[in-house]
């Protein structure tokens, strides 16, 4: 099959390899991207020690950057922002390392962006489906997305009723102007909802594409759940604080945060 031209896009994948499953999922999802699209892929790996393993296993065409980070908590919002600043493509696709999206859905999302009908696209709607170990293994063995579509009724829906995480597509300049990621969100949880809320407050056009997101299941360590007992309530407080802002208030907040470096931002720990 001829690859689809996405040379005006860059897939941005921030990650920490914390399990063997995570490593496998990373290689599988990047293989899926490269098998179907002529595009750019940038991976940012942050960890306390650089084993060099991921860099050796990734295809040569993939841009891989390693950052030494001794923090046990993976500050994903920070690393997404670094990735966005490191590329110059017109459009970006922020992509979790454990997901598969059907090609027709990505094509529709790309079309909406290129036609300037939207500023941001979530290429699935309502169905963030966890594969289970068995279906994940079947997919890895076959690399056939029909396996996932055939067994989707057996998968567990995550983050119901309105999931917005996993991936999004954006016009890069508009995303930067919107303030990018809110780096106060430190570790896992709630940043995806905050991001979409900010887009709406600023008047940006955001749309979902009908269809599923398939999540290749994995173990859930400290960076796949709230890392302390009060995390959910504290992050909800930040989310609601932003949600109550007017457009002008949020613009001022973004300008203020732009002047700060990460060490000065009061992250939610």
pLDDT of residue 230: 78
pLDDT for 137 beyond 90:
yes
Pairwise CA distance, residues 83 & 81, whole Å: 5
pLDDT of residue 32: 98
Residues 175-185: pLDDT tens digits?
999 999 999 88
pLDDT of residue 141: 97
Q: What's the mean per-residue pLDDT of the chain?
A: 92
Q: Are 196 and 112 in contact (CB under 8 A)?
A: no
Pairwise CA distance, residues 141 & 130, whole Å: 17
Question: At CA 120, angle to CA 29 and CA 185, rounded to 5?
Answer: 75
pLDDT for 262 beyond 60:
no
Residues 98-130: pLDDT tens digits?
999 999 999 999 999 999 999 999 999 999 999
Instruction: With cut-offs at 50, 70 and 90, classify the pLDDT of residue 188.
Output: low
Q: Which residue has 């945060």 as its token pair? A: 257
Which of the two residues, 231 and 41, has the higher pLDDT score? 41
Instruction: List b or e across 212-232, with b for residues whose CB sees 16 or more CB atoms inside 10 angstroms.
Output: bbbbbbbeeeebbebbeeebe
pLDDT of residue 265: 53
Instruction: With cut-offs at 50, 70 and 90, classify the pLDDT of residue 190.
Output: confident
Residues 65-74: pLDDT tens digits?
999 999 988 9
Pairwise CA distance, residues 238 & 91, whole Å: 28
Q: Which helix (H) or strand (E) holds 30?
A: helix 20-36
Which neighbouring-strand residues pair with 113?
none
Residues 1-36: pLDDT tens digits?
789 999 999 999 999 998 999 999 999 999 999 999
Window from 46-60, 65-79, 254-268 with minimum mean pLDDT: 254-268
Residues 233-245: pLDDT tens digits?
788 888 889 889 9
pLDDT of residue 130: 97
Q: Are 58 and 64 in contact (CB under 8 A)?
A: yes
Q: Which CATH number fits domain 4-264: 3.20.110.20, 3.40.50.300, 3.40.50.1950, 3.90.550.10?
A: 3.90.550.10
Residues 140-170: pLDDT tens digits?
999 999 999 999 999 999 988 899 999 999 9
pLDDT of residue 77: 94
pLDDT of residue 223: 63
Strands (E), the chain: 4-15, 37-47, 63-68, 91-95, 99-100, 120-122, 127-130, 156-157, 167-171, 206-208, 212-215
């Amino acid at each position: 099959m001829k690859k689809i031209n996405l040379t005006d896009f860059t897939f941005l994948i921030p990650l920490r390899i914390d399990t063997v499953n995570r490593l496998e999922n990373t290689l599988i999802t990047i293989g899926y991207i490269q098998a179907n699209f002529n595009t750019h892929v940038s991976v940012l790996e942050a960890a306390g020690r650089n084993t060099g393993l991921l860099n050796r296993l990734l295809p040569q065409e993939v841009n891989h950057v390693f950052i030494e980070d001794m923090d046990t908590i993976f500050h994903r919002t920070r690393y997404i922002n670094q990735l966005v600043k490191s590329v110059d493509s017109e459009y970006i696709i922020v992509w979790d390392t454990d997901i598969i999206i059907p090609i027709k859905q990505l094509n529709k999302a790309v079309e909406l962006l290129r036609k300037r009908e939207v500023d941001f696209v979530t290429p699935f709607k309502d169905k963030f489906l966890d594969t289970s170990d068995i279906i994940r293994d079947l997919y890895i063995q076959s690399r056939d997305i029909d396996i996932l579509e055939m067994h989707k009724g057996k998968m567990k829906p995550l983050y119901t009723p309105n999931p917005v995480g996993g991936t999004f597509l954006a016009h890069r300049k508009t995303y930067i102007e919107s303030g990018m990621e809110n780096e106060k969100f430190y570790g896992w949880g709630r940043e995806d909802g905050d991001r979409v809320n900010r887009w709406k407050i600023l008047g940006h056009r955001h749309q979902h594409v009908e269809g599923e997101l398939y999540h290749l299941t994995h173990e859930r360590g400290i960076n796949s759940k709230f890392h302390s007992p009060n995390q959910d309530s504290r992050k909800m407080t930040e989310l609601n604080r932003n949600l109550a802002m007017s457009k002008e208030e949020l613009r001022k907040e973004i300008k203020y945060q732009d002047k700060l470096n990460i060490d000065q931002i009061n992250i939610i720990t």
